[in-house]
Amino acid sequence: MTLPRFIVLKTLCDPTYLGYKHDNGNFNGYAEFTEPTVVSANAKFEVEFAKDGLVHIRSCTNNKYLERIHNLSITERPNEEYWITITADKPEEDRSKESCTLFKPIVEDFVNQNYRFVHVQSGYYLCLWSLDTSELGRGVLANHNHVAANRDDIFKVIDWETLVILPRYVAFKGNNNRFLRLTEVGGQPSLEFSSEDVGGHSVTMKVFYRKDGDIRIKPVCSDRFWRCSQNRIWVDSDETIVNDKDTHFRAFKVDSKTIALLNVGNDKFCKRYITRVTTDILAATDLSITKEAYLRVLEPVLSRTIYNLRYDTENARVYNEKVLVVAQNSATNRTTQANTLDVKLSYSETNTSTWLARFTLDLETKATFQVGVPFIGETGVEISSKYETGIEWGKTKTMTTDMEVTHQVRVPPMTKVTVYLKMTNGTCDVPFVFTQKDSLYNGFFVTTDVLGNTFTGTNYYNIQYDSKEEPLTSEPLTSEPLTSEPPTSGNQNINVYCEII
């Protein structure tokens, strides 16, 4: 059984999710089950597959890997001295090292996706370990080579890519090209696909996430929540009734702009429903996602400003590094004296940049902002002083520049020297957060700090020159003895072009 690429880990005993301490205290970086919701940014992990069914597990927030460390000082008890932290900078596959980051997932319950995890180097099981007298109240222990009697070593694996993360404010459009709005049907507050204007007073809905990823929804113009009763969706639930499953909905992604909503109470999908007495109301009647169940999601936002974007370069990740020969050229000395020659080297340098927000859907709300661009430099990830504009979430911006450099090389007599220009090409992931200010159609302004976003970029860096000498066999010349050949790669015209895909 193969794990999903992106996962969330949940305990069986209560609805908390794996994250890590990030308070710069004594246990900074220690794994702990304290994330409150399945869609918390810190709850997302990437599984990197190794050989023999083994895996490395990396946090998508701080880009660090799970590892097992020794710390007896937490409780000073020998059976509580090895803990899991999310602090390893790189994966380690050497099983003889305590720093090995390999884990073996063991299926406990295939239907419910419950697993145990074993730290490969030690052979010890990961286990939720509650401590009442420590700042690390819900840490992860790896101190025992047998399963736990209380089953605290079993974790539910949730596929992150099945989760739908919606904006706080949304509007839903049905397959009749009308927006869903709050209205009255038979004197009861109901929902109907009848508005032609996304800015209509009763169109904007507010989304509230529950711990398990299900949502509750209410119109902004009302203090009541959606509720399913006899398959009809009414707007009559009091805010204090939070555990009523008839008020819980689960979003399923149809495409990049469309979802379907399942009512948890009756386990049926909501759809645009027509009866003899009502037209285009919302009702939960379908066992599968039909065309009438399609809900196109829009953000009812007049304008949006993004500012205060902060890159977390300390937790940036550099990977896929490759040393490439990007250009080569030769210089020939047919005299009896050593000489220094200029060698021209031409090459094309292509960089890419992608800003990915944590929301699941590719919605159409435009925002104006400008930011510096992270890049891999000689000492790590840096931020350029030049600002980038025209950024679109999820779109890759490609910049290609044709370059030419001149390199001096000492050429011995009767020798041809070929110069190779080498550069490293790498990819970096940089977490970032930003502040978003929205102007809604009702005149309200909403300011939100958006967490869990990632910049991904590729660029060339670390210029190196290498050379190879070849002796010449012909007789020395007394005139025009020194030559430098035209560059053998790249473009002679210096130009820059940009493409967004």
The pLDDT of residue 22: 87
Region 110-117: mean pLDDT is 96
Q: Is the per-residue pLDDT at 488 higher than 70?
A: no
Res. 276 pLDDT band, cuts 50 70 90: confident
One domain for residues 416 and 454: yes
- How do residues 171-212 score in pLDDT, each as one tens digit? 999 999 999 999 998 889 999 999 999 999 999 999 999 999
- How do residues 50-62 score in pLDDT, each as one tens digit? 999 999 999 999 9
The pLDDT of residue 500: 40
The pLDDT of residue 422: 96
One domain for residues 321 and 457: yes
Q: Is the per-residue pLDDT at 367 higher than 80?
A: no
Say which CATH number the domain at 71 has: 2.80.10.50
Q: Is the per-residue pLDDT at 112 higher than 90?
A: yes
- Cβ distance 109 to 116 under 8 Å? no
Q: Is the per-residue pLDDT at 489 higher than 50?
A: no
The pLDDT of residue 487: 56
One domain for residues 255 and 147: no
Region 275-298: mean pLDDT is 92
Region 122-141: mean pLDDT is 92
The pLDDT of residue 499: 44
Of 313, 287, 249, nearest to 454 by C-alpha is 313
- How do residues 2-11 score in pLDDT, each as one tens digit? 899 999 999 9
Q: What distance in Å separates the CA atoms of residue 387 and residue 371, rounded to the nearest whole number?
A: 5
One domain for residues 343 and 488: yes
- Cβ distance 440 to 302 under 8 Å? yes
One domain for residues 383 and 273: no
Print the domain residue range for 127.
6-161
Q: Is the per-residue pLDDT at 480 higher than 70?
A: no
Of 469, 457, 500, nearest to 353 by C-alpha is 457
Res. 492 pLDDT band, cuts 50 70 90: very low
Mean of pLDDT over the chain = 91
One domain for residues 428 and 311: yes
Res. 467 pLDDT band, cuts 50 70 90: very high
Res. 493 pLDDT band, cuts 50 70 90: very low
One domain for residues 329 and 472: yes
Of 269, 258, 270, 268, nearest to 295 by C-alpha is 258
Region 462-469: mean pLDDT is 95
Number of Cβ atoms within 10 Å of the Cβ of 123: 11
- How do residues 288-312 score in pLDDT, each as one tens digit? 999 999 999 999 999 998 999 999 9
Res. 501 pLDDT band, cuts 50 70 90: very low
The pLDDT of residue 361: 85
Q: Read out DSSP for 237-296?
A: E-TT--S-GGG-EEEEEEETTEEEEEETTTTEEEEEE--SS--SEEEEEESS--GGG-EE
The pLDDT of residue 15: 85
Q: How far is CA 173 from the centre of its chain?
A: 28
Res. 268 pLDDT band, cuts 50 70 90: very high
Within a domain: 213: yes
Q: What distance in Å separates the CA atoms of residue 153 and residue 67, rounded to the nearest whole number?
A: 16
Q: Identify the domain boundary among 161, 178, 206.
A: 161
Q: Is the per-residue pLDDT at 330 higher than 50?
A: yes
The pLDDT of residue 497: 37
Region 472-483: mean pLDDT is 63
Q: Identify the domain boundary among 246, 267, 298.
A: 298
Within a domain: 1: no
One domain for residues 459 and 316: yes
Region 103-130: mean pLDDT is 96
The pLDDT of residue 483: 60
One domain for residues 442 and 355: yes
Q: Identify the domain boundary among 252, 283, 298.
A: 298
One domain for residues 428 and 487: yes
Proportion of the chain above pLDDT 90, given as a percent: 79
Within a domain: 252: yes
Q: 16's torsion region: left (phi>0), alpha (psi -120 to 50) or beta?
A: beta
The pLDDT of residue 274: 87
One domain for residues 193 and 152: no
- How do residues 52-89 score in pLDDT, each as one tens digit? 999 999 999 999 999 999 999 888 899 899 999 999 99
The pLDDT of residue 292: 97
Region 24-51: mean pLDDT is 94
One domain for residues 117 and 217: no
The pLDDT of residue 477: 59
Q: Is the per-residue pLDDT at 332 higher than 90?
A: yes
Q: Which two tokens stand for residue 90?
A: 């790189």
Say which CATH number the domain at 343 has: 2.170.15.10
| Domain tally, the chain | 3
